[in-house]
Amino acid sequence: MRTMSELKDQIDDYLRYAQLERGLSENTILAYRQDLMAFLQFLEKEQLISWPTEAIEIDAFLAEQKDQHKATSSISRMISSLRKFYQWLARQNIQKLNPMIEVDPPKKEHRLPVALSVEEIEKLLMQPDVKKKLGIRDKALLEMLYATGMRVSELISLTEENVHQDLKLIKVFGKGSKERLVPISDLALSWLEKYEKEVREPMLLKNGDYSEYVFLNNRGGSLTRQAVWQIIKHYCQTAGIEKDVTPHTLRHTFATHLLENGADLRVVQEILGHSDISTTQIYTNLTQKHIYEVYQKTHPRV
């Protein structure tokens, strides 16, 4: 008879396979572990000591997640995690019956991403105290995010060799290590140069250290996603911006402002590194809203 310990061991075996043989990223493995452990806790609570073979049991787990107010995107990810795990169980001859075949993903919530107005982004970019070294770094970081639409993971992994200042381009490695070239504005480049000359290089020289990464913490190590999140939250508070702003909000803002000013959707897709244009099309909803608001404010007969 199986025990909960054996089920956990199977999860660990699957995650090792996913990391070593499929080459999945650390963040993806972490998400899989979180989803599968939540499923295991549900089985333990329900006193089940084997992987369910009926879709009704999977549906009960997903219903519980919904009752806990988990986002539709989180539940969709859980379904994907379970689907891949059950496929692995079948290949390993651990369990042939796959209830995930009968489980449908929840309908997507069509929520528009939060974006800052031009006035809000300008106010945010003015917040860092550029008389201080970390203020110069933070100014360069914020300008870079808004000028390029990079993901935070792409920003913190950006290396010196991938910044081509003469060409005004940066080489970015996105999801699945897909490479793309992204243009960068003169203003963002000027702040990046100031940061490198006045902050980054002296810091590394003083520490007698070397780092290939562009953006460093105050000890000369690479920045983390959490650190970038905290930097943005801090400056949003000082700017009096009440929206729920994350690093991804600056990516949304970048795309929205480009489209509002007439950029081609395909160009924005390329810059953002979206493999499917439908992912980019969500921003057209934001720009249509903007167009309607401008119409309401400016048409003399409205």
Please give the Cα distance from 148 to 183 (Å, whole number): 7
Query: Would you call 111 a catalytic residue per the annotation?
Result: no
Q: Annotated catalytic residue: which of 8, 180, 225, 248? A: 248
- Give every strand in the sheet of 169-173, ordered side by side: 163-164, 169-173, 179-183
Please give the Cα distance from 262 to 282 (Å, whole number): 16
Q: Three-state SS for 244?
A: coil
Q: Say how many C-beta atoms besides its own lie within 10 A of residue 104's C-beta.
A: 8
216 and 206 Cβ atoms separated by less than 8 Å: no
Q: Annotated catalytic residue: which of 84, 137, 139, 151? A: 151
Q: Annotated catalytic residue: which of 14, 86, 146, 283? A: 283
Please give the Cα distance from 282 to 212 (Å, whole number): 35
32 and 15 Cβ atoms separated by less than 8 Å: yes
Q: Where are the beta strands (DSSP E) in 93-168?
A: 163-164
Tokens at 289, concatenated: 């809203």
Q: Annotated catalytic residue: which of 123, 180, 274, 290? A: 274
Please give the Cα distance from 185 to 173 (Å, whole number): 19
Query: Would you call 194 a catalytic residue per the annotation?
Result: no
Q: Annotated catalytic residue: which of 91, 132, 164, 175? A: 175
Q: Is 8 exposed, middle or buried (0-12, 13-18, 19+ CB in 10 A)?
A: middle
Query: Would you call 283 a catalytic residue per the annotation?
Result: yes
Q: Which of 213, 191, 212 is nearest to 147 (CA)?
A: 191
Query: Is the torsion defined by CA of 84, 90, 93, 94 positive or negative?
Result: positive
Q: Annotated catalytic residue: which of 84, 139, 251, 257? A: 251
Find residue 173's DSSP bridge partners.
179
Query: Would you call 175 a catalytic residue per the annotation?
Result: yes
Please give the Cα distance from 123 to 231 (Å, whole number): 15
Cite the active site residues: 151, 175, 248, 251, 274, 283
